[in-house]
Chains A and B, each alone.
Chain A
Amino acid sequence: MQPIISIKNLSKTYASGHQALQDVSLDIAEGEILALLGPNGAGKTTLISIICGIVTPSAGRVTVAGFDIIDDFRQTREMIGLVPQELTLGAFDTVWNTVSFSRGLFGKRPNPEFLRQLLRQLALFEKRESELMTLSGGMKRRVLIAKALAHEPKILFLDEPTAGVDVELRKEMWRIVERLRTAGVTIILTTHYIEEAEEIADRVGVINEGRLLLVDDKRSLMHELGKKQLEIELKERIDIMPANLVDWNLELSADGRQLTYTYDTQARTTGITMLLQAIGDAGLSLKDLKSKQSSLEEIFVDLVNLKP
């Protein structure tokens, strides 16, 4: 299937000389949820801003549903909604006016019924006549989402939708995203929170220092890069590692009661049987065994640290 967004060899060097993006290529499929993960200054906002038309690219090409973002900007921008990272809202407009403004700006004829429904879905209907400056931070973020959705876009960019948002609202945001996905909207979100990507994304892209390090299906990413750890709890505490276990690279906990063995699930043999055998040979007896998969967060930290 033709991707809804196709990014080819995109680079951006700001006037300051700072290269924020280096040769980024990426295809995004219609209807998927893609999470872009990366530390501060990685280039996430820059990437989104280029696709939305706020920043001009230095090199490369982006098409949306086959249209070029520069030559056919009317077609591409009509399809896109953007929720910016910062809470940028006017002060004196009412919720209703600002949402109506957004709809008109994107070339759609007024449709009060649609907007009323949108505000209801975002629990803003009661606040529709309130001035924006009287709203709480969480409400403002929802107003930004309402503005981005006011023209019924097919693609939604959420730039750190849950930064500075409490747990309750974050869960609510995830529900909103889920509902939009059901409606067929393609969603690209950036985040620092791994759990967020893990929770809602289909695919995860990792950006660092302007480079797209990888993009992969969330599950295969966790599977491929995932390491498993085996936690071995001992009946009696030990102070030093028995001689025959030294080569296993085990980690001994501070209280001397637990050994941790890290292994690669992709390896031909995990070595677990032999390890248990060796522990028995050392005269230790087991109390409990636990294995756990590394989270995206650990994968992410590994990746970012791997590259210079």
Chain B
Amino acid sequence: MNYHAIKVIYKFEMLRAWNTFLQTIASPVISTSLYFVVFGSAIGSRIQQVEGVSYGAFIVPGLMMLSLLTQSISNASFGIYFPRFTGTIYEVLSAPISFFEILLGYVGAAASKSLIIGGIILFTAGFFVDLSIAHPVWMLAFLVLTSITFSLLGFIIGIWADNFEKLQLIPLLVITPLVFLGGSFYSVGMLPPAWQTVTLFNPVLYLISGFRWSFFEVSDVSVGLSLFMILLFLTICIAIVWWMFRTGYRLKQ
């Protein structure tokens, strides 16, 4: 293992966030606060409780997932796409480093950043609502698994994309709608039955449901199913990355 290489890639990627420190910290804080003002106060004054949980607290896991997913994808995809775009990727490709080590550096850093942002959101939310976390270990496990899975997805997008438009296409057109329609801000039980069935095809629903269960012990689907689904996504992403590295897809001619 080339530990020095993993370390410098990881450090370099973290430094990139550090250089835009204010943006890294401020944007989740501001957007979380705004969500609380809009959803928590405006809607929360009408819907006091969802399944026995105050509406303000109920949206916290969804809010965290929304940021976690978008941040993981954008950080990881940008991290690998940018060196490809500028050509500096030549150095990584010519270094005595395996694809697995490249992956550890880039995806590790992106997942770490997402975790930090998740923490910031949780902390910010604490100012607005009373939060109790029923299963902290499970919460952390969901957080880590989701960050890694979606950082992997971001990495895949960053390798697949050959222009900036494609880089933003999937987060914008796929992920954001799925998160909003996946029960971030409501319980699936609040929808008409037909729509409930449609929602079950939304993979993000399982993430949010499981994650919310770790907070409040209420969920739309069973926790076991949530865990199974997240592990399934993880396996799919790993398989795709493995194939990309095997074939040198878009990295080597």
Q: A residues engaging B (CB < 8 A)? A: 14-15, 52-56, 73-78, 80, 82, 84, 86, 88-93, 97, 100-109, 147
Contacts and interface: CB of A to CB of B under 8 A. Distances in A.
Contacts of B19: 92
Chain B: interface residue count, which band? 20 to 34
A84 B87 contact: yes
Given A82-B90, A89-B88, A105-B97, A56 B4 contact: no
B4 A82 contact: no
Nearest to A78: B96
Interface in B78-102: 83, 86-88, 90-97
Contacts of A15: 253
B90 A106 contact: no
A253 B14 CA distance: 69
Nearest to B19: A92
A90 B96 contact: no
Nearest to A77: B96
Contacts of A89: 86, 88
A104 B96 contact: no
B12 A101 contact: yes
| Most-contacted residue by chain B among A74, A78, A100 (CB, 10 A) | A74
B8 A88 contact: no
A80 B7 CA distance: 21
B4 A108 contact: yes
B95 A105 contact: yes
B8 A105 contact: yes
21 contacts: A14-B253, A15-B253, A53-B94, A54-B90, A73-B96, A75-B96, A80-B94, A82-B90, A84-B87, A84-B90, A89-B86, A90-B83, A90-B86, A91-B86, A104-B4, A104-B5, A105-B91, A105-B92, A105-B95, A106-B96, A107-B95
A5 B97 CA distance: 20
A56 B90 contact: no
A107 B5 CA distance: 6
> Which 8 pairs, one residue from A and one from B, show the smallest C-beta to C-beta distance?
A104-B8, A88-B87, A77-B96, A52-B94, A74-B96, A104-B4, A105-B95, A107-B2
Contacts of A102: 91
B88 A88 contact: yes
B87 A86 contact: yes
Interface in B4-56: 4-5, 7-9, 12, 15, 19
Contacts of B96: 73-78, 106-107
B248 A56 contact: yes
B14 to A, nearest CB: 12
Given A14-B253, A54-B252, A56-B248, A109 B88 contact: no
Contacts of A54: 90, 93-94, 252
Given A52-B93, A75-B96, A77-B95, 11 more contacts: A54-B90, A55-B253, A73-B96, A74-B96, A77-B94, A78-B96, A89-B88, A101-B8, A104-B4, A107-B2, A107-B96
